Amino acid sequence: MSETAEKATLAVGGKQLDMPIKKGTIGPDVMDISSLYAQAKMFTFDPGFTSTASCESKITYIDGDEGVLLYRGYPIEQLAEHGDFIETCYLLLYGNLPNLAERKEFEDAITHHTMIHEQMSRFFSGFRRDAHPMAVMVGTVGALSAFYHDSTDINDPRQREIASRRMIAKLPTIAAMTYKYSIGQPFVYPRNDLSYASNFLHMCFAVPCEPYKVNPVLARAMDRIFTLHADHEQNASTSTVRLAGSSGANPFACIAAGIACLWGPAHGGANEAALEMLAEIGHVDNIPKYIAKAKDKNDPFRLMGFGHRVYKNYDPRAKIMQKTAHEVLQELGIKDDPLLDVAVELEQIALKDEYFVERKLYPNIDFYSGITLRALGFPTSMFTVLFALARTVGWIAQWREMIEDPNQRIGRPRQLYTGATQRDYMPMSRRGK
Ligand code: SDX
């Protein structure tokens, strides 16, 4: 970040206050208002953080107006096309694409840390079989801090590195165990001869009774889906991880907090909600009724998988996800998926409707992901688990950046108070009936 000679002048309380303007490499400048309270005894007010930069970061850049997403400067389209999730993890964590030796060291480290402490498998039996998988994920990922004490000292760079690699390695194992537990099948151990995505599909869909061969086309699709979900600037769950980390909480607890936040249907839970919405619509003939519901201010219904706080253009990930949906359906010989027909038609209608056009509401990553994940064999309740699995590397990269920032302080926003002014205690006898 570079300080500029430019200043913003605020006229407040009869005073002229100069606020420094800071420039990034690309994207909007920021007005540094950190001295505002000291100078004017006033706070800024921005409840949804629509105009607030919470931090300086070098990891991911989004241009919402242009529909651009860069991981460490590389366009998501190029990484999805030419790269894979393991090298995307390396890129997000260390800032550059790995060379051959770096990739081998990193991939070997991840591969050889995919097993979890055997005693952790007892955690699952404490849940009902029909527990939502995200409830299981929040609980078991948080519990990792109970098993890996040797990597919870956030001030030790070596322990931060070990914890980072442990979580990237173990989240697929925990996610697969969560799925197996929900369907009453035995857990399948990770295999070191398989790639990250193939190993995950094997742990989810293999059974002890017969060999399971991973379909390379489906594994490639799964790997690309992980890349698309890996990071996304300061979204709600990433901001949760940063805020939790700013208190010095251990990394496992911070990631569990991120999983909890991602669960919400306005955020990562939208992929599950979007597929349920498409299933509820059921047929293209029903689309107009649901478009009307989405536009009706008195109806809480929203088109799930549509709209975004930052993208006011097409989410670049949605385009790649749509292409992946077609690839997977074709590989599986699914000629026509009625839900895909509904999704494509719904998108066409919405993108021409004035209500969506003037609000710049476009499909986001969650609109097509459910169709692909369902075709891969996952139940809708697992969709956000897969999002959390992939986003773990982004959360960790952002958490490390925050911890390693020399100016890092505990995050502690203030408020506009509109409650009762001071008043004296009222004894029961005077409180009326
Ligand atoms: C993710 O932040 C990230 O980066 C998140 C994410 C990531 O990778 O981490 O990209 C992942 O969370 C994607 C978003 C998934 N959520 C959904 O698909 C749920 C449906 N979308 C909406 O709930 C909504 O669009 C949000 C939550 C995504 C964005 O909310 P905002 O920015 O607060 O937008 P808003 O509520 O202020 O909406 C502006 C207008 C409103 O109408 P008016 O009051 O101006 O008349 O657009 C309307 C909204 O009612 N609107 C919608 C709509 N989304 C917004 N109307 C119908 N359907 C929708 N989906």
How far is Cα 361 from Cα 99, in angstroms, rounded to an integer?
40
Q: Are 267 and 48 in contact (CB under 8 A)?
A: no
Residue 366 beta carbon below 6 angstroms from any ligand 1 atom = yes
- Where does the pLDDT of residue 143 fall: very low under 50, low under 70, confident under 90, or very high at 90 and above? very high
Share above pLDDT 90 across residues of the chain, in percent, rounded to a whole number: 92
Provide the mean pLDDT of the chain.
95
Q: Are 89 and 168 in contact (CB under 8 A)?
A: yes
Is 50's pLDDT higher than 80? yes
Whole-number Å distance, alpha carbon 140 to ligand 1 midpoint, is 30
58-113 pLDDT, tens digit per residue, is: 999 999 999 999 999 999 999 999 999 999 999 999 999 999 999 999 999 999 99
Q: Looking at residue 180, what is its pLDDT?
A: 98
Q: Looking at residue 96, what is its pLDDT?
A: 98
Q: What is the pTM of this model?
A: 0.95
State which ligand 1 atom lies nearest to the alpha carbon of 307: 25
The backbone torsions φ and ψ at residue 304, rounded to the nearest 5 degrees and listed phi first, read -70, 140
Nearest CA-CA partner of 271 in 389, 347, 374: 374
∠ CA 254-232-92, rounded to 5°? 75
Q: Tell me which of 51 and 4 has the higher pLDDT.
A: 51
Amino acid at 256: A
State which ligand 1 atom lies nearest to the alpha carbon of 306: 60
Residue 398 beta carbon below 6 angstroms from any ligand 1 atom = no
163-199 pLDDT, tens digit per residue, is: 999 999 999 999 999 999 999 999 999 999 999 999 9
375-404 pLDDT, tens digit per residue, is: 999 999 999 999 999 999 999 999 999 999
Mutate to test the pocket of ligand 1, among 297, 310, 354, 364 (most ligand atoms within 8 A of CB): 364
DSSP string, 68-90: EEEETTEEHHHHHHH--HHHHHH
Share above pLDDT 70 across residues of the chain, in percent, rounded to a whole number: 99
221-264 pLDDT, tens digit per residue, is: 999 999 999 999 999 999 999 999 999 999 999 999 999 999 99
366 catalytic residue (yes or no): yes
Residue 224 beta carbon below 6 angstroms from any ligand 1 atom = no
Q: Are 185 and 207 in contact (CB under 8 A)?
A: yes
Q: Are 262 and 268 in contact (CB under 8 A)?
A: yes
CA atoms within 13 A on the CB side of 161: 7
Residue 227 beta carbon below 6 angstroms from any ligand 1 atom = no
How far is Cα 106 from Cα 248, in angstroms, rounded to an integer?
26
Whole-number Å distance, alpha carbon 47 to ligand 1 midpoint, is 15
Is 3's pLDDT higher than 70? no
Residue 350 beta carbon below 6 angstroms from any ligand 1 atom = no
CA atoms within 13 A on the CB side of 63: 12
Ramachandran area for residue 125 (φ above 0: left; ψ -120 to 50: alpha; else beta): alpha
State which ligand 1 atom lies nearest to the alpha carbon of 294: 57
Query: Can you tell me the mean pLDDT for 117-143?
Result: 95
Q: Looking at residue 108, what is its pLDDT?
A: 98
CA atoms within 13 A on the CB side of 87: 19
Is 345's pLDDT higher than 80? yes
DSSP string, 32-57: --TTHHHHHS-----TT-TT------
Is 337's pLDDT higher than 90? no
Is 355's pLDDT higher than 80? yes
Residue 359 beta carbon below 6 angstroms from any ligand 1 atom = yes
Residue 266 beta carbon below 6 angstroms from any ligand 1 atom = yes
Residue 242 beta carbon below 6 angstroms from any ligand 1 atom = no
Q: Looking at residue 149, what is its pLDDT?
A: 86
- Which position has the token pair 């309380």? 13
Query: Can you tell me the mean pLDDT for 422-428?
Result: 97
Query: Can you tell me the mean pLDDT for 400-414?
Result: 95
Whole-number Å distance, alpha carbon 274 to ligand 1 midpoint, is 13
Q: Containing H/E element for 3?
A: strand 2-12
How far is Cα 64 from Cα 405, in angstroms, rounded to an integer?
26
The backbone torsions φ and ψ at residue 4, rounded to the nearest 5 degrees and listed phi first, read -120, 165
Residue closest via CA to ligand 1's atom 57 equals 302
Is 4's pLDDT higher than 80? no
299 catalytic residue (yes or no): no
Query: Can you tell me the mean pLDDT for 338-366?
Result: 92
Whole-number Å distance, alpha carbon 266 to ligand 1 midpoint, is 7
Instruction: Identify the active-site residue in 308, 326, 341, 405.
Output: 308
